[in-house]
Amino acid sequence: MGFPGIVLDDFEGAEYERVPVDVMNTDGEAVKSCSYMFNN
């Protein structure tokens, strides 16, 4: 993975949706990244 964030890899075979989220980098600045959220 080339980005910080959360990856839910426990749901194999499920559909995932990439959504932009605000995460804190090592400098304490808010940066845009991607998080995988479970798409019901």
Q: Percent of the chain at pLDDT above 70?
A: 0
| pLDDT value, residue 40 | 41
| pLDDT value, residue 24 | 52
Burial class (CB in 10 A: 0-12, 13-18, 19+), 20: exposed
| pLDDT value, residue 26 | 55
Q: Which residues of the chain have pLDDT under 70?
A: 1-40
| pLDDT value, residue 7 | 60
Q: What are the residues facing 12 on neighbouring strands?
A: none
